[in-house]
Structures are given as structure tokens and as C-alpha cells.
A and B are shown apart, each in its own frame.
Chain A
């Protein structure tokens, strides 16, 4: 494997930010598609269209649950994680770098057609933020919280709401892996009662709350609520930066497929997790940013051709998220297509003889319409 020359940075453990990586002049001349710039902070327009590598340990630490399924399989096959630097991501990064953290958090909504790379853009931004040392609250897919839930408990905290212990505990586990050091530093500001006996005192590290939630699955959703509230209040003070990254934010305002025991449909407000998340996404706190993606693939009761924020969020969601900065993501530009194609060729993913020719490349471009997901699916069997 190629040696990038960057020190391995395990965001879980030590300190602070990025160890910058230098381009090694002595490395093998990889073709134009790659850049050894492993730090998203340093990505600029000249890196556009190129693929950069994320060391595997970082991947496990930063993205325990965020990456799209196809990309995870690709990581396993190629034994490395290569993300393409694209214009929407660069745009977002410039905004983030230049944003004033004293103002209320700005909301960014990444939208686009199916399979154009919204989730990957989000992951790029999350990687950058974790490199910079922000606290990252990453919800991989909000749609998972509004459908296919096996267990619904009535919340002990608030009689009208419903808990989802399974999803909450899964999320807590992943949150713990990605943000270990923060959990140690942040202290609770209030005393919380879990049921009749257990309670968490004021001033304890947040990690105890998380562990409480993991141990007592029944109160996991409440634990999530507590964590989110604490983080929001404390980021106001400015000791750390907070990034709220939600994939599939349109799930928070749509309908759910869940039903109560008396077969009446559940609306999203009645779910604790959704309620708490909505509070996070409001821009009434400062000291960070909110980056969200719209997703049609997991969304319920929406036509498959809908992709604009208006259609997918619905009236309610749009009003709630308004004002936001929309960031459109489109299909590959010719240059990006070339670099993706070159990468597949180089890793010998395209085995077919004809795939190596110019004609094959034109054919792939035509058939996939320069759509990243289609290209991936096409190149699979080849």
C-alpha cells in the first residue's frame, strides 16, 4: 500500500486537530486522479475531481455509522477509503471555515437527484469537522427512526410521547465511539432522574449519561434527549464547536409508518427521538453549524421524482428549516467522471477488455448518464 506520510490520527483518543500531511515527492506517480492531501481542511479547487484517502482507523473512529452501504462495500473490496473531492463539498467547507460562530447556527441543506452523492458530501464535511476537533452529532439516516420500529414504549418522561429503545441505543453506541473524548469533558448541568432509583448528579461527565442509556435500554431515548440538550446548551458557551449532521432530514416532518396499539397512526412529534432532533435542528443556538441532507430513497409517501427541498420537506418542514442555505449536488462533470473511471481502472475493478478502450469509456458515460450511483452499479459486474 502506498505510504501517505501522514501520521495516523485517531480522533477518538488524543488531542487536538489535524496533523497536516505533506505531499511526498518520492511517491509513485499516481495518475492525475489522486491527491495525497488527506486533510479536508486543505482541499481547494485545484483538488476538485480528485480522490483522497482516509486511513482505515480513522474511518472506524469517525464514521461508525455514517457511510452509505455501497461505499462500505467498496472500502472492504479495495481495502482503502477514497472519497472524491467535489464542488458542493468544497463550497460547504468554505462556508464553514468562514462562518462566524457567535451568530446562530447556519443551516445547510444538501439536495439533489438520486444517487448524485449527497451522503458522501455529508461524510466529507463530517470528516473535516472531526479533523478540526468539533463535536459531531451524526444521525446516519433519520428515516430509520420513523419506520420499521419493532418496539414502541410509552415515554416515562412525557405521557403523550413514544420511545424507541432499540434505535436510541444503537445511536448512543455509535455516538460514543465517535466522540469519546468530548464525553469525558462535558459535564451535566442538572440532575436527571431515570425512573425511581437511578439518577445522574450534576457535574458528572456525559459519558455516564450515555452509559446509563446503554445499560437501561428503556430509558435510552430519554438519555439521547438529555445528551442533545446538554450539548446544545454548552456549545452556546463556546468551549467546543458543534456540528449537527442529519441525513434524510425530511423524515422529521413527513409521516411515519408506525402505528400505536390501537392502530392509529403515529405522527413524528409523538416520537421522543424526533422531537429532540427537531429541537437540535432549530437555529436557536450558536457556536456551530447544522448540515442536513434530503433523501428520497428512504422517504415515505413521496413520489420518486421529487428531489427539491420544497417537495420533500413539505410545508411544515420547509417553514421549520427556513432560512437555510441550499446546496445542490448534481451528476459527475466530465472531469469527475474521468477520475472515477481512472480509479476503477487502476484498481482493476473493470475487468472487461472493452472497458479499457475509449469506446468503453464513452459507453459507460452514456449508459450511466454520469450518475455516480449508476456508474457504480454498472461497473460492478464488469
Chain B
């Protein structure tokens, strides 16, 4: 397993249970919960809704309405959630009044980890015993392939969250190896439940996206629509079949609307990729943004519209080529104390 050298900020921000002395006492947390419930009822009253049926979503909407914030980072905005979500889970004190620890593996230092390994190994032995029994009884050994492509194991961060203690890379890899060994045995179906605690579904990208069917207009020509955006430009494209490759933007021919070659190349790209340059006609409307942004927006819109004309495999190719992804780059905000988003003021020595 490769060690991730650079992780995303979201990952780094996860707060594992405090390994030091307790920061929040139980009484404190209880008080926070009471305050939260009271505050929830007040908020419901303020918004004119029923305090009994005020859900978390309603709370979020109310807070966003009462404290509007223009910050980009959603987690920096004002937030009102149940204290168990806000304060990270902690371990309670592991030893009693006489100083004796509760857990038998406390003195290993990583008690939850070792107890987990212990349990998993127990299950493994169980499965092996079951397998031996079946062989003794000369019964056929069935081997069903479970979810191969659709699942993945827990990541190290998720495991740490579950165990509430730090897990090193080596330990994590050993745990995963053990799980894989368990799954590879033929009679692992018995322990299916236990294994599912440590695996997660990975939905394929494409399953989320629904490809619309073709529509037909009055003349019987098939067409489909698509929308795209880039920076501040928004575009809608209607792609017709049985065409000559003519493209009209806002009622103007592309040669006149995009005098620059680069923009026309951007428009050409989806058609060229699918090899359908002279086969489709297109009528699009675009607004906002500049010259390049409008070209990028129309490109995305036309690629999305072309999905309906094309097989699934080619749609996957398009996605991998980057034709169907929204370009997330926007103008970065200027910071105070600097001249621009990155440029600092000229440094004078004196």
C-alpha cells in the first residue's frame, strides 16, 4: 500500500478522539445537549414553526437565513448542530477508582486495535473450523463471489475514528491483510455481517448520472439538449441529428461569433472526439463570462447533449477525456494585505 504523502485538507481536519486528558467532561456535554435542545425550540418559535417537528435540516435553513455568510468554505459558516456531532467522541477513562484498567489489553497501549485483531482472528478460526466440518461430512464447498467491484475497505482515517485511537500504517495494513484472508476463504459467508462492518460501497461514477433519451421534434429529426457552465458563463445547446455541421450561437454563425481560432477548436473538440464532425447541427444560447468562458461552456453543453446519441462505452471515454466534467476554476478572491489573490505588495527594504 502506498502511503499518502499529501492528503486533502478535509481529511486532515478530522479529529480523532483526544488522546490526552479529557477536554470535555461528561457533565459539560450534557449541559451542551440541554442548551442545544432549548435553543432548537427557541429557533422554531422564532421561525414560526412547530417546535416538536423541527428537524436538523430546518435548523440549517433557519441559521443560513438568519446569519447569511458569503464565505466559500461551508465549514467556516455559522453552524448549529447536536453536540455529539460538534464535539469529537472521546474515550472515557479506561480505569476504575482503584487504578485497575477495565480492558484486559490496556497495557499493550493500543487496546482497541489489538482487541479488534483478536476478534477478527477468532472469526477466521471459526470459519476454518466450519470448513473442516464440511469437508469431514463430504459436503460440497460453495464459494460465492460477493461484492467485488462495488466495495472498498475502510480507510485508515475511518478506522481511527471507529477505534478512537491512533492506528499506524503498518497496523492498518496488517488488519486489511487479515480481512482479505478472511474473505478469501470459501465459507466466509457465515461472517458476512462482521465483514460488512469494515467495508463500504463505492458507487461507480456513471451510475449516478442518468442519460436522457433522444427527443424528436416536428420534422422527425432527433435532437437532445445539454447545459454547461464555465467561470461565469452559462450555455444551453440543442444538438440535431442529420445535419451538415452548421453551428449557430445566439443566432449568429460561429465564424462571426468566435473570430478566434482557439474558441472554435474548443467547440470542435466533442464532435471530433466522437468522429461526428459533419453529422450534427447545433443551436446554442450562451450568456455571461468572456470569450473563452463561453466557448468552454458551450463545449460542455454540447458534450452533455451528445451523450444521448452515443453508446455507453463512448460516454465513459468522453468522461475520461474530461469532456463531461465541470471546470471548477473560478476567479480567486483578493486577500487584504496583498495586491491580488497571490501577488504581494512590492517589498521595500526600508
Contact = CB atoms under 8 A, between A and B. Distances in A.
Contacts of B265: 367
A366 B261 contact: no
Interface string A353-382: 000000100110111010100100010000
Contacts of A366: 245, 264, 268, 271, 277-278
21 contacts: A305-B256, A359-B272, A359-B275, A362-B245, A362-B277, A362-B278, A365-B245, A365-B277, A365-B278, A366-B245, A366-B268, A366-B277, A366-B278, A367-B265, A367-B268, A369-B253, A369-B254, A369-B255, A371-B255, A374-B255, A378-B261
Interface residues of A, number: 11
Interface string B237-267: 0000000010000000111100001001100
A378 B268 CA distance: 15
A217 B76 CA distance: 80
Interface in A148-175: none
A29 to B, nearest CB: 28
A367 B261 contact: yes
A75 B265 CA distance: 29
User: What is the interface of chain B mostly: helix, strand, loop, or mixed?
Assistant: helix
A341 to B, nearest CB: 14
B239 to A, nearest CB: 14
B277 A363 contact: yes
B245 A363 contact: no
Interface in B254-306: 254-256, 261, 264-265, 268, 271-272, 275, 277-278
Contacts of A367: 261, 264-265, 268
Contacts of B278: 362, 365-366
Nearest to A369: B255
Nearest to B245: A366
Given A359-B275, A378-B261, 11 more contacts: A305-B256, A362-B245, A363-B268, A363-B272, A365-B277, A365-B278, A366-B245, A366-B268, A367-B264, A369-B254, A371-B255
Interface in A300-329: 305
Of A362, A363, A366, the most chain B CB neighbours within 10 A belong to A366
B306 to A, nearest CB: 15
| Nearest 8 interchain pairs by C-beta | A369-B255, A362-B277, A367-B264, A366-B268, A362-B278, A366-B277, A366-B245, A371-B255
Interface string B22-60: 000000000000000000000000000000000000000
B177 to A, nearest CB: 50
A374 B260 CA distance: 10
B277 A359 contact: yes
Contacts of A363: 268, 272, 277
B65 to A, nearest CB: 48
Of A359, A365, A367, the most chain B CB neighbours within 10 A belong to A367
A378 B271 CA distance: 19
Contacts of A374: 255
A307 B63 CA distance: 58
A305 B272 CA distance: 29
B246 to A, nearest CB: 9
Contacts of A378: 261
Of A359, A365, A369, A371, the most chain B CB neighbours within 10 A belong to A369
A290 B306 CA distance: 51
Contacts of B254: 369
Contacts of A305: 256
Contacts of A371: 255
Interface in A320-348: none
Contacts of A369: 253-255, 264
B265 to A, nearest CB: 7
A143 to B, nearest CB: 21
B252 to A, nearest CB: 9
Contacts of B271: 366
A359 B271 CA distance: 11
B291 to A, nearest CB: 15
Nearest to B256: A305
B282 to A, nearest CB: 11
B128 to A, nearest CB: 60
A362 B280 CA distance: 12
A117 to B, nearest CB: 15
Interface string A31-42: 000000000000
A367 B247 CA distance: 11
Nearest to B267: A366
Contacts of B275: 359
A363 B275 CA distance: 10
Interface string B298-316: 0000000000000000000
Interface string B89-116: 0000000000000000000000000000
B174 to A, nearest CB: 53
Nearest to A362: B277
Of B253, B255, B264, B268, the most chain A CB neighbours within 10 A belong to B255
A304 to B, nearest CB: 9
A365 B278 CA distance: 9
